[in-house]
Structure 1
Amino acid sequence: MIFINPQWQGSGLTDDLKFGAETFKSYFKNFNTTVIPLSIKDLATIDNIKCFEPILEQTNFFKEILTDSKLNKISTIGGDCGIEIVPISYLNKIYEEDICVIWIDAHADLNTPNSSPSKTFHGMPLRILLGEGNEKFINLLFSTIKPEQVCFVGLRDIDEPESEYILKHHIPTVTNCQFVDIQNKIKNFKNVYIHLDLDVLDKSEFEFTMFPTNNGFLVADVVQLIEKIKAKHNVVGFCVTESTATTLEQLDKIKSILDQIEL
């Protein structure tokens, strides 16, 4: 089962990610997919979170779908990174916390509403999964995770409060894309969840993201990393987020990544 979650409001008031999700929908038209509905609630900032109400409602939509699903593996396409709080918290509960979340992303997404400079939700989901942040979102989680269940890969744009949290909780951070450098950090877990924000890719490789930057990963290296993780661990969840591609041709560059999405 592949869930397509077109939530875009986590990136602020621009809806580029909605169109990116629509392109993904076309790409995966021959697969078994379920689309999470979008909310039409007001985009006001509440409790230091932009577009609070539609994001909260969409999170609840996703939770309701998963609650009675009995799924033990979940693939998800976004949308913004805020969609991650439902599938990760669900699988963490199913696997009784024997799950490592490999966060392959240029950003840590560890802000709270008070620490976030932008007040956009897609910079907060991992902190919410760790049980900190807005209580209404935390209350929608199936479970919370612990810092030792997280491994960062590819971080290169981190806010100071996020850096402080990573250091305080000794969260492993790997700057390259080599499996040999993460295997010792995740070896205690049988099960793995892979989060992949496409902004971790170098701009020359794929520019159709919210924050394309230089000094990122090559597509081929990311594919190789995913394949090696799959060979050594039980990958129970995989999510690709933050594409702004509006044509199938623009997705051609990451076809080898998207071919990995079905579990």
Structure 2
Amino acid sequence: MIFINPQWQGSGFTDDLKMGAETFISYFKDSDTKVIPLSTKGLTTIANIKCFEPILEQTKLFKEIILDSKPDKISTIGGDCGIEIVPVSYLNKTYQGDLCVIYIDAHADLNTPESSPSKAFHGMPLRMLLGEGNEEFIGLLFSTLKPEQICYVGLRDLDEPESEYIRQHNITTIADCKFEYVQQEIKNFRNVYIHLDLDVLDKSEYEFSMFPTNIGSSVSDVAELVRKIKANYNVVGFCITESIATTLEQLNPIKPIIDQINL
């Protein structure tokens, strides 16, 4: 089963990611999918988090759905990166901390509500998974991560508090999407979770991400990295986030990646 979580409120006040997730629903129309319903609560900023109430309600609902289905592996399509706190914390608990999170993303998502310049939730999920941030959301986690469980790939656009956190905790960062580099860092783990924010891709190859960037990774490199990780490790989770493509044709360039979503 593929969970499609169209949560968009984590990116702020524009619902482009909702439309992007709906395009994925059409793409996977012949697959076994479960769509997470959206909240209708207001978009008020509370506790330094934009759209706090709908995100909280959607997180609770996603948690209930995961609890009901009790999967051993989780494939997810977003929506914004904030959806990650449920599947990652669930799988980390399931595999008793023997989980490396390969975070393929141009951004670190390591802000707290206080440090975030934008107050957008999608810049906070990894910090929350590390046990820091808003207590209501942290209280919904199945478990928390340790810094040594994280391996960034393609990271290049950070806020200073995120850079400082990475330095202080010696979190692994790899510039290029090359398996041989990643393999050296995840050799102590049996199980892997792949997070992919499409903004890691160079916008000359894929421009339909929420925050497309220059000097990004190629589609072929990311697709090959995912293939090799899946071939050499027990990949228990794979999530693709932050596409704003509104037609199936716009998804064509990343077909080699998204066709690997099933585990």
TM over 0.5: yes
1:191, distance to aligned residue in structure 2 (A): 0.2
1:232, distance to aligned residue in structure 2 (A): 1.2
Q: SS at the partner of 2:196?
A: strand
Give the aligned partner of residue 209 of structure 1: 209
1:67, distance to aligned residue in structure 2 (A): 1.1
Rounded Cα–Cα distance in structure 1 between residues aligned with 2:152 and 2:209: 19
1:207, distance to aligned residue in structure 2 (A): 0.2
Alignment deviations for residues 132-152 of structure 1 (CA, whole Å, 9 cap, x no partner): 000000000011111010000
Give the aligned partner of residue 73 of structure 1: 73
1:30-179 aligned at under 5 Å gives the runs 30-179=30-179
Identity of aligned residues (%): 75
What is the TM-score of this pair, normalised by structure 1?
0.99
> Would you say how many aligned residue pairs link Structure 1 and Structure 2?
263
Q: SS at the partner of 1:152?
A: strand
1:68, distance to aligned residue in structure 2 (A): 2.6
Q: SS at the partner of 1:119?
A: coil
Q: SS at the partner of 1:34?
A: strand
Q: What letter corresponds to residue 206 of structure 1 in structure 2?
A: Y
Rounded Cα–Cα distance in structure 2 between residues aligned with 1:182 and 1:77: 23
Q: What letter corresponds to residue 181 of structure 2 in structure 1?
A: D
Rounded Cα–Cα distance in structure 2 between residues aligned with 1:136 and 1:70: 23
Rounded Cα–Cα distance in structure 1 between residues aligned with 2:11 and 2:70: 30
Q: CA RMSD in A?
A: 0.5
Q: What letter corresponds to residue 33 of structure 1 in structure 2?
A: T
Rounded Cα–Cα distance in structure 2 between residues aligned with 1:228 and 1:213: 25
Q: SS at the partner of 2:151?
A: strand
Where structure 2 has 5 or more consecutive residues not aligned to the other structure, the ranges are none
What is the TM-score of this pair, normalised by structure 2?
0.99
Where structure 1 has 5 or more consecutive residues not aligned to the other structure, the ranges are none
Q: SS at the partner of 2:69?
A: coil
